[in-house]
Amino acid sequence: MKKTATSLADGRELIYYDPDDGTVRDAVDRRPLPVTHTESQLRHDPLLDEWVVLASHRQSRTFHPPADQCPLCPTQGDRLTEIPDSSYNVAVFENRFPSLSGGPEGPVTGEPFASRPGAGRCEVVCFTDDHTKSFGDLTPAQARLVMEAWVDRTGELSSHPGVEQVFCFENRGKEIGVTLAHPHGQIYAYPFTTPRTERMLASAAAHRRRTGRNLFEDVLAAEKADGSRIVVAGEHWTAFVPHAAHWPYEVHLYPNRRVGDLLALDEAEKEEWSEIYLDLLQRFDGIFSDGERTPYISAWHQAPFRGGEEFALHQELFTIKRAPNKLKYLAGSESGMDVFINDVRPEAAAERLRELGA
């Protein structure tokens, strides 16, 4: 893999990832862009003990442009985009409308209404230069290149001042809230450990005190032993619908060897992941019979850089769609009390996903 770093016209970083070491990337961003100025703030919720990000500048971000004005397609002639080159394999750049930006983080002020600058970093990951494709349309080699970009960015962002956790994810589908149709994902470098991770770590610590064992390892072993919710089982990875799935169709993909983050995966694990993940995405697109691609969120859960020894890297893939032309809304119980009500039994969801691979 060859990594080429350059700058966009407004000073933001752009990085190309290419499979060929001989690839030359020397195109210049010709847009007359002013230097980007963003301002986000973190405010602490004292009742839930968690941080909320305020980023009002994002109200003006690009929203569903026509395909011939897509900012993530490569530059063609006088049609200038975020990618100056006329083609690319994988490209990563600093988000022009970031939720988090700058660093190092400033001091916490105020009590009980504490706040601090929204330090951190948000990046966009373009999976391919083909506007018409989705991640599931990539070849295993292309998916593997995206994985290498995630690994590289996790390592780089871990050294940024104040960054505590790196989150690689993809939102697909307008139902999810995606504002650009081009196949892409994002990376958030948070200046704190996220609430979801904190809850998992607390559960893992309590399990260790009770049993002397690792919670993530025990969950994976129990799912394998039960078998009714396993979707795909490989030499290095296991994909299953969790026993208490929150979403109508939800799959967790775990490496069989517990590691804390993407940096710890070996070559064989990364190779097999590209095959299994593409298989899962193709199954997801076959769940419903309405002819539409299934909207989904795909999220990598990595250990924070401090205090995450008990954590296990895993990927969660889920859709908010519960039936053809029907969405699962987060209504009163889910949004008001964080109590999910699932419309599909996890065992039935797993059976459906297994059938789609037959």
Active-site residues, by number, are 184
Burial environment of residue 182 by CB neighbours within 10 A (0 to 12, 13 to 18, 19 or more): buried
Dihedral (CA of 208, 211, 212, 217) sign:
negative
- Tell whether residue 122 is among the known ligand binding residues: no
User: From CA 70, how far away is CA 67, in angstroms rounded?
Assistant: 5
The tokens for 193 are: 């450990």
User: From CA 244, how far away is CA 255, in angstroms rounded?
Assistant: 20
| Amino acid in position 39 | E
Q: What element of type H or E holds 203? A: helix 195-211
- Tell whether residue 168 is among the known ligand binding residues: no
The tokens for 313 are: 């890297």
- Tell whether residue 131 is among the known ligand binding residues: yes
* Cα separation values, 272 from 15, 143, 158, 333, Å: 25, 11, 25, 38
> What residues have CB less than 8 Å from 160, skipping those under 6 apart?
103, 121, 189
* Cα separation values, 231 from 253, 284, 299, 316, 350, Å: 10, 11, 18, 13, 6
Annotation: binding site: 70, 73, 131, 182
Annotation: binding site for Zn(2+): 70, 73, 131, 182
